Amino acid sequence: MLKLMKYEFRKLRTPLLVMVLILAGLEIGFLAGYKLEKTVLTAISVTLLTTLVFVSYAFLLIAGIVSYSKELTDKSGYLAFMVPVRPISIVLSKLLFTALAAIAATALFAVAAWADIGILLDRFNIGPALVEQANALLRLALNGALPSVQQTGQFILYIAGTVFIEFLLAICSAYLAITLSATLLQNRKGFLRALISLLLFVALNWGASWLADKLFYQHASVASSVNALLSSLGGSLLMNLALCAVFTTLAAWLLDRKVNL
């Protein structure tokens, strides 16, 4: 599987390198604006950095889906069984590479954001005020007026985990939708096959959202305590993770048994 992931990296290394270079250029622009006290340059750099974050995640999501669709539709690459690997290895290699790329991007953006926010706090001298407010909130939490520090940390982790798992779920549902379309329309290409894939993708994501809403999100919205809210969020996270496993397994099974590659 590592060799397959290396193959995925080779296909995307150029656009990934371009994104890193753009991030470096925007960081240089931000630092130059700070040092030269050019407020407009700093504001433009921050705006473009924020935009780059969303563009990067959108690119990773679309690239992971398009790569699978193209190789399946064009019967190219290792999806044509030109190498002796199991279909589950093919699907997992693409999914894991996209997940690792998203984690690496998150780490890179987090480091840049931490440094930039520290500079801005120092520039406007609002760091001490934030520390004082944080200490006040901490005292309230310790007195029971606010959720505890542990509960707040758990909430942040659940939210971050939910966003990441839903990112993977979108990819897994796209893989399954594309494979189902290839199963239903074995010898057809073009607009009809793409339309069926899109409709199946929408249906799978709608179904997952509906199930999560019925089982967990409705309970979370009326949760009587912080612990109940965390329990609901944790349940939805586990459900989405299970759906990722089911969708991936079904896509691999269809590739192996139903799709004529």
Q: Which residue has the tokens 């192996």?
A: 256
pLDDT tens for residues 242-259?
Answer: 999 999 999 888 887 766
Same domain, 62 and 36: yes
Give domain status of residue 13, yes or no.
yes
Same domain, 85 and 18: yes
Same domain, 86 and 189: no
pLDDT tens for residues 175-190?
Answer: 999 888 877 776 666 6
Same domain, 159 and 259: yes
Give domain status of residue 130, yes or no.
no
- Examine the pLDDT at 145 and tell me if it is beyond 70: no
Same domain, 120 and 140: no
Give domain status of residue 208, yes or no.
yes
Structural domains counted in the chain: 2
Q: Which residue has the tokens 């989405």?
A: 240
Same domain, 228 and 206: yes
- Other Cβ atoms less than 10 A from the Cβ of 18: the count is 11
| 74 token code pair | 């064009």
- Any idea which of 3-7, 62-66, 139-143, 178-182 has the lowest mean pLDDT? 139-143
pLDDT tens for residues 42-85?
Answer: 889 889 998 999 999 999 999 888 888 887 776 554 444 455 67
**Residue 140's pLDDT band (cuts 50, 70, 90):** very low
Give domain status of residue 131, yes or no.
no
Identify the domain boundary among 125, 151, 170: 125
Segments forming the whole domain that contains residue 3: 1-125
∠ CA 68-73-78, rounded to 5°? 55
pLDDT at 189: 65
